[in-house]
């Protein structure tokens, strides 16, 4: 069985005597590998290495730093197939999606390498005729990145690429549920001639290692992708040192289907957005609001589409595979059961299927839902699609969509330009997709409102997350 090591200060290190974390393959339900169960000792060593390396790293030109990002991209491409296999095995991600994640991660490093000659400061007009005001954008220092289990490898790049390019050094803590691909990448980087300490990968539990990293005075920024509860802990942990946070948290994305919508397009996009990685994506379509005039037609089409969704062995490329673990499977089943008892009608699925292995939950459609139901208000993070109808026009649908603690993504399906414009001006979400599936672009800005987070990632604004301003007044 593969046993990964910590990657600190440019070298693989044997773990301290704190035991290991066993990483389960959710499909086979067998242990795929082990990683160190690191704690404060590992965190301290990683932060010290990053802090020691940061001044010299920041002193290099951005173009030189971009060269390291290109090396990382090339390393991923050279090992793209084996990395995709590891990703598939550690989280039951279907093979095509696993390969896409690996390939897009390489593109992401190249994308941010391209920013080396582009990002800039400003010259601000002064009130004094013999003065210039210069605004510099400078690195924050050491960045701590805490990665999720659903897209661990890609999100790792989100936290490494812009930080390194802008002169920061990085400590990454992968999720204990899916650390293998990141740690395999660390093994590959150990064989490259990279500056020591600029990027460090350490594994361990959130309550020990994560807590230490977040509460340490060393980081200038802590970036987390995870649950609202995890984000609240990060905010509490960083409060004493007033450490900057960048948080992408949960989502409860609404999809609005207007009476004039292309229903076939709407169904295709919504189902794709609901079952990608078994519904375990924060920007998935989590609830549907359909105009009562076309509700019956929409329900008939979406039932057929969800019933046709295939699931099984991720290596055989079904539409989806299992949930990440038994806890997630149980949570989904209990939420569907409560929704049924509260009056929702199970139109498709609704059960844990009988399978030889894997934490599966059937693709599910729930009709007759109400706005006050838990299934409409709380994140399911599974292949369950609750449907609510509206009767008083688009304004009502937008009000229902906005009536939510979360604010990450949203969508509308309409052939009416006025409807589309009204939605994009009134929906209170970080992203809105019109007549397409929920999936962001690396040159955009993936950021949420309300409890969906603080700050964001991708594009120019994602780069600025890792920079702080320094204004200089030059009188002559």
Residues recognised as catalytic: 248, 282
- Going by the DSSP 8-state scheme, the letter that residue 201 receives in this structure is E
Virtual torsion, Cα 380, 384, 389, 390, nearest 10 deg:
40
Q: Is the dihedral of CA 456, 93, 12, 79 positive or negative?
A: negative
| Dihedral angle over CA of 6, 190, 93, 156, nearest 10 | 80
Cα–Cα distance measured from residue 346 to residue 351, given in angstroms and rounded to the nearest whole number: 10
- 30-36: strand order across its sheet: 2-3, 30-36, 20-25
- Beta-strand ranges (E) seen in 15-126 are 20-25, 30-36, 122-124
Residue 340: CA count within 13 A, CB half-sphere: 15
Distance CA 410, CA 429 (A): 6
Tokens of 180: 């293998």
Please compute, for residue 384, the number of CA atoms within 13 A of its CA located in the half-sphere on the CB side.
Answer: 33
Distance, CA of 35 to CA of 202 (rounded, Å): 9
Cβ within 8 Å of residue 377, ≥6 positions away: 252, 371, 404, 405
Q: Are 296 and 384 in contact (CB under 8 A)?
A: no
Of 111, 141, 147, the residue nearest 223 (C-alpha):
147
Q: Is 17 helix (H, G, I), strand (E, B) or coil?
A: coil
Provide the phi-psi class of 358: left if phi over 0, else alpha when psi is between -120 and 50, else beta: left
What's the rounded Cα separation, in Å, for the pair 117 and 126?
A: 27
Residue in 249, 382, 251 with CA at minimum distance from that of residue 326: 382
Helix, strand, coil shares of the chain, percent, nearest 5, are: 40, 25, 35
Q: Kindly report the number of other CB atoms within 10 A of residue 79's CB atom.
A: 17
Determine the Cα–Cα distance for residues 253 and 283; give it in Å rounded to an integer: 6
Instruction: Give the three-class secondary structure for 288.
Output: strand
Report the C-alpha gap between 282 and 280 in whole angstroms.
7
Looking at residue 1, the DSSP 8-state letter turns out to be -
Q: Is 245 within 8 Å of 221 (Cβ atoms)?
A: yes
């Amino acid at each position: 069985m593969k046993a990964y090591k910590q990657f600190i200060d440019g070298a693989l290190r044997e773990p301290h005597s704190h035991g290991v974390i066993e990483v389960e393959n959710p499909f086979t339900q067998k242990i795929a590998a082990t990683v160190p169960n690191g704690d404060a000792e590992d965190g301290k060593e990683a932060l010290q290495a990053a802090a020691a390396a940061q001044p010299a790293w920041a002193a290099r030109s951005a173009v030189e730093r971009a060269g390291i990002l290109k090396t990382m991209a090339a390393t991923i491409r050279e090992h793209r197939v084996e990395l995709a296999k590891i990703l598939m095995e550690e989280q039951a991600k279907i093979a095509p999606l696993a390969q896409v994640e690996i390939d897009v991660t390489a593109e992401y490093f190249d994308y941010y390498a391209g920013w080396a000659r582009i990002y800039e400061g400003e010259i601000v007009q002064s009130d004094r005729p013999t003065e210039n005001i210069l605004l510099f954008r400078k690195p924050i220092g050491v960045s701590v990145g805490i990665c999720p289990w659903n897209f661990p490898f890609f999100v790792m790049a989100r936290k490494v690429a812009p930080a390194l390019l802008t002169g920061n050094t990085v400590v990454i803590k992968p999720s204990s549920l899916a650390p293998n691909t990141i740690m395999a990448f660390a093994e590959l980087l150990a064989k490259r001639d990279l500056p020591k300490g600029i990027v460090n990968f350490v594994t361990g539990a959130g309550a020990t290692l994560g807590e230490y990293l977040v509460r340490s005075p060393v980081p200038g920024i802590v970036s987390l992708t995870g649950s609202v509860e995890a984000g609240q802990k990060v905010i509490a942990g960083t409060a004493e040192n007033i450490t900057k946070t960048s948080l992408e948290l949960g989502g409860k994305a609404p999809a609005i289907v207007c009476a004039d919508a292309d229903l076939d397009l709407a169904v295709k996009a919504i189902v794709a957005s609901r079952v990608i990685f078994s519904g375990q994506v924060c920007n998935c379509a989590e609830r549907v609001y359909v105009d009562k005039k076309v509700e019956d037609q929409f329900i008939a089409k979406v039932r057929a589409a969800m019933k046709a969704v295939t699931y099984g062995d991720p290596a055989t490329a079904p539409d989806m595979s299992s949930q990440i673990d038994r806890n997630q499977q149980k949570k989904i089943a209990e939420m569907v059961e409560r929704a049924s008892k509260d009056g929702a009608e199970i139109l498709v699925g609704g059960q844990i299927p009988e399978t030889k292995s894997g934490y599966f939950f059937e693709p599910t459609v729930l009709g007759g839902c109400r706005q006050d139901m838990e299934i409409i208000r709380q994140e399911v993070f599974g292949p369950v699609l609750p449907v609510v109808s509206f009767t008083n026009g688009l304004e009502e649908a937008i009000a229902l969509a906005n009536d939510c603690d979360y604010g990450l993504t949203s969508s509308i399906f309409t052939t009416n330009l006025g409807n589309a414009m009204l939605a994009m001006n009134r929906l209170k979400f970080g992203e809105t997709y019109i007549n397409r599936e929920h999936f962001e672009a690396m040159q955009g800005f993936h950021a949420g409102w309300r409890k969906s987070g603080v700050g964001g990632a991708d594009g120019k604004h994602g780069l600025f997350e890792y920079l702080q301003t320094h204004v200089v007044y030059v009188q002559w």
